[in-house]
Every structure is written in structure tokens, then in C-alpha cells.
Chains A and B, each alone.
Chain A
Amino acid sequence: MIDVDFEQSRGDFVLRAKFSTEAPVVGLFGRSGAGKTSLVNAIAGVTSPRRGHIRIDGVTLFDSAQRIDVPMQKRRVGYVFQEALLFPHLTVGANLSYGLRLRPASTRYIEPGRVIDVLGLRALVDRKPATLSGGERQRVAIGRALLAQPRLLLLDEPLASLDVPRRTEILDYVERLRDEFHVPIVYVSHSVPEITRLADTVVILSEGECLAAGAVDDVMGRLDLKPHTGRYEAGAVIEAMVAAQDEQFQLTTLQFAGGELTVPRVDAKAGERVRARVRARDVSLATARPEGLSILNVLHARIVAIAVETGAVVDLELAVGEARLLARVTRRSCAELGLREGQEVFALIKAVSFDQRSTGYA
């Protein structure tokens, strides 16, 4: 349980953070300069808010009314920075055990051996940070924070300094530790695919204000938040279950609240829950069921809302059974097809539009 409600000012910048969630993974989303790092700094105790409170699992870390401000070394909030910030004079092993040695045995609940295995660090233990690759460094930094036995783990854009293939790799590791260690995570990012893949709850931050907080599909699908979630990133998240694997064509069939989706093979067993993100621009609309089409996913949908637009494109919110989708079409198509709210349509999604980064374990 993360309960945050505080106000902090640094120079001209005022941050008003207010959200409360039980979710195991909270995505903190916002453009650069939105105040994401200021927010996690306050939670970690690097800076002190002017007023308000910060509570984690019922433990008060900061409360201006009660004059409580737990110093950062006593907060037990793990913090993984954008750059790994490993201690250059210590080996990987000494980096990993740095925080562990400072925690009394009674507060230890994460076992070093498991962290080293889950993050694949066994072979790196004797090396110096200078000899590691960017991805390896970030994994060591995550392990180091975990071994300090945190009650909460803050990941501040841990992929920002990595190249694209390394990003997917680290995302896999973060996913694994989320499932293995049951430590609540606040994941900071300006990337929609990262947030939707990992987080259950998302908090949207813009210019120091928390604009929205809630379930990922609800918040990310909201048309009114589109200016903040980004024009080219608009899309919706579908929670689904693996229904079948097609080994011959390397495809996976997913069952979700609105029907079935066929996507490129997902490495998961039948019955496992996964999360797929559908970008608005990958969804086409048809007023009648089309024939002779390469597109594998044809879903029966109803138009819930059409965004008022004056530019070339327009976003439509669709209900597919219980699930919601966003579709982006040109304003001209919208007019020519005479699309209106409440209308029944078919949503077409190419299977190839699902990528590795947007489909993963729920």
C-alpha cells in the first residue's frame, strides 16, 4: 500500500503528488520535467516535502503534521537510478552486499542467492563495475537495491541509458523480480510500452501535478489524457489469457474479455495471463465484416466516443465486449464512413503490429 499526498517546491517548480494504491507495480508516467524524479526522490528521502505525508504499508516515512521525517538510510526504500551508480572501487559482489550488511537480520526477507540467480549475476560477482556492460550494470544496481531489503523498490527510468535490445532484456528481469520477490515497485518511465507491460496502476504526472491515477487500461485508454499519454503512443491495454499456441505458424491465441486475439508467438503456457498493448494507429475500422483479408484479428466493436479533432486524424474509443480499444483513423475516413458514437463496427488489428516490448506476462 503506497499512500502519498504531499507538496514540495524547488525554486519555481511545485510538485503536488497525491495518489494511493494497493497495486504491486505502480507506473509513474510523464514527460521529462514532469516531476517524476522529484516525486521518487521525496519517497526515498533524498529531499523533504514542504507538507503532507508519505506512507508505505502503514509505515509513515514522512508526515509534516506529526513532524516525522525518517532519514533516507532508515527508510528501507530501494532506489535504482537512471545510471546504475555502482560503487566503482568495489567488486560486483561487494556492491551487492553493501546494503545487505547494514540491515539487521530481523528485517531480511530477500535471500541473496535467489537475487543473484534471478538477475543472472553469478558470473559477474568478482568483476569491477568498469568492466560491465550497461545492461549488466543496471542488473547489479537492481540486485543491490533488492538486497538492502526494501519495503518498496523505486526504479527511475532504469532503461533510459540502455540501447534497445538491452531494454527488452532488463524488462524481462524486472518482470521476473516482480513475480519472485513480491516487493512493491514504483516504475518511473516516459515510455508507454514499458509502463503498460509492467504496471497494474498508472499515475500520470504533468508539470508537477498528478493528473490521474488508476488501472492501466482505464487511464491509458482515456481520450482526455491523450495530450499527456502522447499522440503517437495512444493505445489500449488488454489483459488476456493464453488460449492456444500454434507451433506451425508461431502464433499465439489470446482470450480476452472481448473475444480472441492472434499475436506473434508469446513465450507462455496455455492458461497464463498476459498483457497486450494495442496502439490506436494499428486499429482500422470497417462498417461491415471484410472478406479476403490478411488481417487476422477482426473484432466486433461498438464506438463509445469520438474525439473532437481538427487535424488529419481522429481517435475513437471502442468497446469490444468488456474491453476497451482505441482506434486512430483519418478524419476523412471517419466522415466518409459516417462513424458516430454508439455505432457497431469491426475493428481490424494486424497480428504483426504486436511487438515483443508490448506483450508480456501480466
Chain B
Amino acid sequence: MTGMSAEEVGIILLSLRVAFVSVLFSLPVAIGVAHVLARADFPGKTLVDAFVHLPLVLPPVVVGFALLVLFGKQGPIGSWLNEWFGIVFAFRWTGAALASAIMGFPLMVRAIRLSLDAIDPRLETAAGTLGASRAWVFASITLPLALPGIVTGALLSFARALGEFGATITFVSNIPGETETLPLAIYTLTQVPGGDAQALRLSAISVVLSVVALVASEWLTRRAHGQTRDDRR
């Protein structure tokens, strides 16, 4: 990897930044949604569940287009965010992070929900009778016990973000230095004559990054499991 050009380094750093920011901001939301889906019972729960899983089954291009319509400069949410907070998603790396967050969201919610479902709710009741408020029960019992799922969900979403292509290119286009992440760069290189060698190099880097993320996920999950083994016999 010694011969990486400044351009290549820039692409890798941008990809990592997009993936990292997308996980950072979507994680609290995913924990909240997973908690509601795992614990609460309300009419329309199936609908919410289906909506959360939509990015998993829709063509990524459709998700990207929906984001463009909603979060574009003229879009209902995009124009509002720009006006009040000066936040712009369209054709910015933040938009790439948003697209990655949406695409990875179902994976994150699923993993977290699975580990929440495995927690005996009576542990939370026990904490309540010992004097813990709902918020403290969540922070001191639920969250630590769900940690393996949270770690898995975050890393799955991170890996998904590194590979995000369709939604990103549709929403924020392919702007070198701003929105051109690894997969987009590889795609561009395959479209120009003589770009194959560089595309191969970037692909190799992509494989390495994904493998590292997976191994880290395995290791962290096992560590978290060791700390939170169930006390049932």
C-alpha cells in the first residue's frame, strides 16, 4: 500500500468519514426505534416495522431518489433544514452519510432489537422495585445487556456504509473530493480506458477495510458476550 497517491488516500479518508458519521448519528435513533419495537405495543407497530425495513428491500436508486426529493435544496425537509439550521445535504459528503445511514438503518435496528428481545424484561422490573427510574433502568440494565447487539449493529451498518453505491450516487452524485467514496471511485475508474489497474487497487483496499470491520465486529461481540452472560441455568 506504500504507493498510494494523495488522491487515493483522500478517497479512503472520505469513505471512512462518511461511514463513521453515518453510524454516529444513526446509532442513537436505531437504539430508540429498536427499543420501541421490542418493548412497546401500539396500533400500527407492524407498519412502523415495515417502514424501517424498507431500505433493505427497495432498489437503492429509489431510496436515493426519495432522498433527493425530500432532502434536496427545494425539497420539503431539505429547504427547511437549510433555512433554519443551514444544513445542506444535497451534493455534499453529509448527504452521502445520510444516504449510508438510511441504507444501513434496518441492519442496525435488527441487530439491536434481537439483543433487546433476549433480555428478560423482569430484570427491568426488578431494577424498578429496587428504586431505579425508567431512564436509569434503561441506562444501567437495558443498554449494557444489549451491548453485543449494539456493537454488531453499528459495525454492520459501518460496513454497509463503506459499500453504499446506488442511493449515494442518485442523491449526491459523484463529485471528486466531496461525495466520491470508494465504490463510486471504483465505478468511475471502470468507465475510463486504462483505469482497470487503479480500480483493482481500490477494490483490494475495499476488501481489506471490509474484512477488518468484520473481524473487529466478531471480536467486540465476543468480548461483550463474555461480560454479559445470562444468569439463567
Contacts and interface: CB of A to CB of B under 8 A. Distances in A.
Interface of A: 44-46, 72-79, 81, 83-89, 98-99, 102-103, 128-130, 132, 134, 137, 144-145, 148
Contacts of A73: 128-133
Nearest to A104: B131
A360 to B, nearest CB: 28
A87 B133 CA distance: 16
A134 B122 contact: no
**By CB atoms of chain A within 10 A, which of B126, B136, B232 has the most?**
B126
Given A46-B125, A81-B122, A85-B122, A137 B231 contact: yes
A72 B231 contact: no
A86 B130 contact: no
Contacts of B233: 134
A6 to B, nearest CB: 18
B230 A88 contact: yes
Contacts of B144: 89
A85 B123 contact: yes
A85 B231 CA distance: 8
Nearest to B122: A85
Given A98-B140, A129-B231, 10 more contacts: A45-B129, A46-B128, A72-B125, A88-B230, A89-B144, A98-B130, A98-B132, A102-B131, A128-B229, A148-B131
Nearest to A103: B131
Interface of B: 120, 122-123, 125-133, 136, 140-141, 144-145, 227-233
A79 B126 contact: yes
B191 to A, nearest CB: 51
A85 B120 contact: yes
A130 B122 contact: no
Contacts of A103: 131
Contacts of A77: 129
A171 B141 CA distance: 30
B151 to A, nearest CB: 14
Contacts of B123: 85, 87
Contacts of A99: 130-132
Contacts of A84: 231
A83 B228 contact: no
Nearest to B147: A89
A137 B145 CA distance: 19
Contact of B127 (A45, A76, A87): A87
**By CB atoms of chain A within 10 A, which of B131, B141, B227 has the most?**
B131
B145 A102 contact: no
Nearest to A132: B231
A132 B128 CA distance: 23
Contacts of B125: 46, 72
Contacts of A75: 129
A130 B120 contact: no
Nearest to B145: A89
Contacts of B133: 73
A130 B229 CA distance: 7
B228 A102 contact: no
A86 B230 CA distance: 9
**By CB atoms of chain B within 10 A, which of A76, A84, A87, A137 has the most?**
A87
Nearest 10 interchain pairs by C-beta: A99-B130, A102-B131, A129-B231, A79-B129, A88-B231, A89-B228, A148-B130, A85-B126, A130-B229, A72-B128
Contacts of A132: 231
Contacts of A144: 130
B80 to A, nearest CB: 39
A129 to B, nearest CB: 4
B228 to A, nearest CB: 4
11 contacts: A72-B128, A73-B132, A83-B232, A88-B145, A88-B229, A88-B231, A89-B144, A89-B228, A99-B131, A99-B132, A130-B231
B129 A78 contact: yes
B129 A44 contact: yes
A345 to B, nearest CB: 50
Contact of B126 (A74, A81, A134): A81
Contacts of B145: 88-89
Contacts of B127: 87, 98
